[in-house]
Structure 1
Amino acid sequence: MSESIIQFLERLFVGPVWPASVMVGVMLIYAIVVAFGLLDFDFGLGADIDPDAMEMDAGDIDLGDADASMETEIPAGDAAWQSAADGGTVSGLGAMTVRWLNLGKIPLVIWCSVFTSLFWAVSYAMWYGYDQDHFAPALIPTLLLTTRNVVLATLATKVLTDRLGFLSRRGPTYEAARLIGKTCRVSTSEVSPTFGQGEFTTDAAPLLLNIRTTEGTVPRDGIVRIIDFDSDRRIYTVTTADANAAQD
């Protein structure tokens, strides 16, 4: 191996450049594995989170009401995001963050590829263009500079992925009136007259609906039937259904 190649490799693993170089290496290994058909291209996570998949007209499924503390009807393809439903406002902020970063508009693997490439480019350019003259490649400076580079790369990824709308995966839409009589499963700790969300299964990613009972409570994983829809508050009224009930 020539001396110039060795020097270049050494430049890839110094200071804040090495975390980005490691990430690029992981992505390259993943790409090679995918090329040989050993893994699914979508990471196999079922995490094509698509907050925009349910953007609809006034009568369609959309957002929760003020009582739900920014509860948002989001696809629940990823269990990690689904479990955030109990968080109320946290869930809403998480959904807005996912939307803002375009994580729901393009496949996850493409978003990660763009971010990784930009992260490495930013880290390399900043270190050899400015940082190495002002910081030592020690642990604390490396952590701080890496954090800065992650923020810059995330913003750059946001801007770039805004231009990748042609890769958008948009799921089916469901009019609220058509859900009357259907069943869903309680996804929060419980559903009551003042609180609750339910998971409605679709052919694509499941949806989290803002639901309320007329009286009493239904615990998590309980099956409820949708009997009414409040278009002003964007809330579905539900009642207990048979445990073996299935969506029509």
Structure 2
Amino acid sequence: MVELVQASFAPANVLATGLLIFVMLYWVIVIVGLLDMSSLDVEVETDIDGEGIGAVAWLNSALAFFNLGRIPLMFFLSFFALPFWFLSLGVNELLGTHDSWLGFTFILPLAVVCLFVAKLLTWPFVKLFSVMEKEQAPKTTVIGQVCTIMLPANATQIGQAAVQTNGSPLLLNVKTTQGHLVKKGETALVIDYLPENQLYLIEPYESL
């Protein structure tokens, strides 16, 4: 046990160990009720301009490939952290590189491998979260309502918008009609729901 702790906090493994501890603490806090399940959805904000749209679209495609956006970020991170820690300890123990600079060179390759492992492990949950989202999302009641942009969106990049309700604001995944771009803080009008993509179609809106 002492050897495992020492190996876990060796320089080459401390990043993987820290990530695993973070994930474990998160779930403990969720279990005891200090956080609710909605906190699984962590937003990653990306500021873009006209020249950056292509790069952001590529990034969104890469994230979608690894199921991010289809399942909550913290859920994915949980399936990434454990194999990352296990492989980090195993490889460095096998090669004797716990305290060597060579151990640091394994961090990125192991992280890439674990991204694919996490993609495989989370794949069965993609459909589950998709069904849950369909059951919870009021698809037609928000059409015609004004929303506030939380994350930028255009015709190709998916953003996020909030619609005010009697309770907490309703967060929607959105994209705009062709030729439009909406930025954080702007208002838009929800004009349609796209069931094939589970997205809401919006267009810029300015109140009089």
Tell me the distance in 2 between the aligned counterparts of 1:26 and 1:184.
Answer: 34
Structure 1: tracts of 5 or more residues without a match:
48-77, 229-235, 244-248
Q: What's the secondary structure of 2:21's corresponding residue?
A: helix
Task: Write 1 or 2 for the structure with the bigger share of strand.
Answer: 2
Distance 1:225 1:163, change over 3 A: closer
Check if 1:97 corresponds to 2:59. Answer: no
Tell me the distance in 2 between the aligned counterparts of 1:157 and 1:89.
Answer: 26
Check if 1:115 corresponds to 2:80. Answer: yes
Q: Contact 1:105–1:165 at 8 Å: present in 2 too?
A: yes
| Equivalent residue in structure 2 for 1:36, among 32, 38, 44 | 32
| Equivalent residue in structure 1 for 2:3, among 7, 13, 16 | 7
- Which position in structure 2 is the counterpart of 1:208? 174
- Which position in structure 2 is the counterpart of 1:137? 99
1:43-192 pair list within 5 angstroms: 44=39, 46-47=41-42, 78=43, 80-81=45-46, 83-84=47-48, 87-129=52-94, 131-132=95-96, 135=97, 137-138=99-100, 140-169=101-130, 170-171=133-134, 172=137, 183=146
Tell me the distance in 2 between the aligned counterparts of 1:30 and 1:187.
Answer: 25
Shift of 1:145: 1.3
Shift of 1:79: 5.6
Shift of 1:116: 0.6
Residue-pair matches, total: 188
Deviation string, structure 1 residues 128-176 (Cα, Å, up to 9, x no partner):
22x32xx5723x434321112111111111122123335324344858x
Deviation string, structure 1 residues 101-132 (Cα, Å, up to 9, x no partner):
11222233221111111111111121122x32
Q: Contact 2:174–2:202 at 8 Å: present in 1 too?
A: no
TM-score (norm 2): 0.66
Tell me the distance in 1 between the aligned counterparts of 2:92 and 2:58.
Answer: 33
Tell me the distance in 2 between the aligned counterparts of 1:31 and 1:105.
Answer: 20
Q: Contact 1:106–1:164 at 8 Å: present in 2 too?
A: yes
Tell me the distance in 1 between the aligned counterparts of 2:45 and 2:93.
Answer: 38
Structure 2: tracts of 5 or more residues without a match:
164-168, 193-200
Where relative contact order (Cα < 8 A, 6+ residues apart) is larger, the structure is 1
State the AA in 2 paired with 1:148: P
Tell me the distance in 2 between the aligned counterparts of 1:121 and 1:151.
Answer: 14
Residue identity over aligned pairs, in percent, reads: 17
- Which position in structure 2 is the counterpart of 1:71? none
